[in-house]
Amino acid sequence: MSINIRIFLIILITLGLNSCAYFKKDGKESKDENQEKEKLIKKSRPNPDLGERQKKYEGTLFNTSRLKKNNNNFDFSTSNPLWRATLSSLEGVPLQTVSYSGGVIVTDWWTKKGSKESIKIQVNFTSNEVKASSIKISSFKKICDDSNICKIASLPQSFNSKVKDSIFDQAKTIKIEQEENKNK
């Protein structure tokens, strides 16, 4: 026999003998092993008791405790001045992604008529407060030639600052309106 066949047979026999160690002599598991398996299965399953779930959510249909602040205001997108101001500033621009829970608004590529340049803006929200560090603006320019080969580059920081200023002007106006309505 060749050496390769001998090595193959030795490996095959070794694997066969090792796999035999995993089988029980009588093919049945002991009572203790069954109990251990049941405990593991119960631990991995979620608790189906609806009463406990209801207590967990304090009797509400959905948990609003994480939406509340100390002053009992709700952080819905309609009450967030930065969010509303951003949507107002980007009015008329096609939006690709709008995720309030993810804190991001991304426009689709858009262009003015007759231009070969397209612009895309991404606004990331880091906080609900109306302050400069609460949003981060990223913008990109795509220029395509006649053969439809496109190049993408970041727009200068001055463009991002103009967008940010526009958003904050709107946010200040919205915040003032909210305060006036609250005082009525």
Q: Could you give the 3-state DSSP secondary structure of residue 87? A: helix
- Chain length of the chain: 184
How confident is residue 19, by pLDDT bands cut at 50, 70 and 90?
A: low
Q: Which residues of 159-182 are buried (b: 16+ CB within 10 A; e: fewer)?
A: ebeebbeebbebbeebbeeeeeee
DSSP state letters, 111-129: --TT-SEEEEEEEEE--SS
Using only the alpha carbons of the chain, give its radius of gyration.
31
Per-residue pLDDT band for 33 (boundaries 50, 70, 90) equals low
CATH number of 81-183: 3.30.530
In the DSSP assignment, the letter for residue 23 is S
pLDDT digits (tens, 9 = 90+) for 68-77: 444 444 455 5
Checking if the pLDDT of 14 tops 50, the result is: yes
Pull the structure tokens for residue 106. 């991304």
pLDDT of 107-142, one tens digit each? Answer: 999 988 878 889 999 999 988 888 888 899 999 999
The alpha helices in the chain, defined as continuous H runs, are 3-20, 31-44, 50-56, 81-89, 157-183
Phi/psi zone of residue 27: left (φ > 0), alpha (ψ -120 to 50 degrees), beta? Answer: left
> Residue 118 burial (CB < 10 Å; 0-12/13-18/19+)?
middle
The domain spans of the chain are: 81-183
- pTM assigned to the model: 0.55
CB under 8 Å to 180, separation ≥6 — which residues? Answer: none
- How far apart are alpha carbons 139 and 159 in whole angstroms? 8
pLDDT in tens, 52-88: 544 544 444 444 444 444 444 445 556 788 898 999 9
